Structures are given as structure tokens and as C-alpha cells.
Amino acid sequence: MSFFIAEAWAQDGPGAAAGFTSLLPLVLIFVIFYFLLLRPQIRRAKELKKMVGSLAKGDEIISNGGLLGRITRLDENFVSVEVADGVVVRIQRSAIASLVPKGTLKKERKEEAE
């Protein structure tokens, strides 16, 4: 019968070094994932937390919803923002996207009036 079918002989098994080399691509992918995705996201989250913690009355902000306004009152979790003359809305501190330079609100209102 060995004339038609080649006989299969047992080979030596892979050593411990071959087991480590099979895990090397997985470890390499995790390292690349950390440096390209996780680390920049962690840095942005720290900067945003620092910015939200340093808010003061009179700062001009943009919310995540796109509202541009000036902070009139601060609470522990909420911020009162004046978006137009006499129009004050309350938003959560976590809903603040960024600080804008002072005078931006005045400039935008001037452009709207024109």
C-alpha cells in the first residue's frame, strides 16, 4: 500500500522559542495600537479635564452642541452660559468642547448684525 500513498512520519515538535515567536506579532500589534490610538486619546482626555477644571467666570466657550457663549456662573457640575443678551442656558461641564479667545463672542455678534 505504501506504493500509492506516502507514509507520514512524526516530526519533532516546535521548541519553546517557536512558541514565543508566534506571540511576537500579537505583542507588536498591541504596542502599535497603544502608541497610535490609546496614548494620544489619554493625553487629550487629560488636557480636556484640566481645561474644564480651570474654567472661570467670563471665559468664552464652545459646547459640544456648538453653542458659543460666555460663562456667567459656575457650579460643581453645571455651568451657566450666556449665548445672547439675556439668554442664559445651563450645560454640564463635561459638555464643554473648548475655550475660545476672549473677544470671539463680540466678533461673532458683530458679524451677525451686518
Contact between 97 and 62 under an 8 Å Cβ cutoff? The reply is: yes
Domain that holds residue 66: 56-113
Specify if 6 maps to a domain. Answer: no
Rounded Cα–Cα distance for residues 54 and 37 (Å): 26
> Residue 18: how many CB atoms within 10 A of its CB?
9
Task: Report residue 98 as a C-alpha cell.
Answer: 473648548
Examine the domain organization and report whether 77 and 100 are in the same domain: yes
Examine the domain organization and report whether 68 and 78 are in the same domain: yes
What is the chain written as a DSSP string?
Answer: -TTTSPPP-PPPPP-HHHHHHHHHHHHHHHHHHIIIIIHHHHHHHHHHHHHHHT--TT-EEEETT--EEEEEEE-SSEEEEEEETTEEEEEEGGGEEEEE-TTHHHHHHHHHH-
- Point out the domain boundary residue: 23, 38, 54: 54
Examine the domain organization and report whether 44 and 62 are in the same domain: no
Q: What is the pLDDT of residues 7-52, one digit of tens each?
A: 777 666 555 556 778 888 899 999 999 999 999 999 999 999 999 9
Examine the domain organization and report whether 66 and 84 are in the same domain: yes
Examine the domain organization and report whether 31 and 73 are in the same domain: no
Q: How confident is the model at residue 2 (pLDDT cuts 50, 70, 90)?
A: low
Specify if 1 maps to a domain. Answer: no
Examine the domain organization and report whether 43 and 63 are in the same domain: no
Q: Which residue has the cell 473648548?
A: 98
Q: How confident is the model at residue 62 (pLDDT cuts 50, 70, 90)?
A: very high
Specify if 24 maps to a domain. Answer: yes
Number of domains the chain contains: 2
Task: Report residue 83 as a C-alpha cell.
Answer: 449665548
Examine the domain organization and report whether 63 and 44 are in the same domain: no
Task: Report residue 42 as a C-alpha cell.
Answer: 489619554
**What is the value of pTM for the model shown?**
0.66
| Non-local CB neighbours of 68 within 8 Å, separated by 6+ positions | 60, 61, 62, 83, 100, 104, 105, 108
Examine the domain organization and report whether 64 and 99 are in the same domain: yes
Specify if 7 maps to a domain. Answer: no
Examine the domain organization and report whether 81 and 50 are in the same domain: no
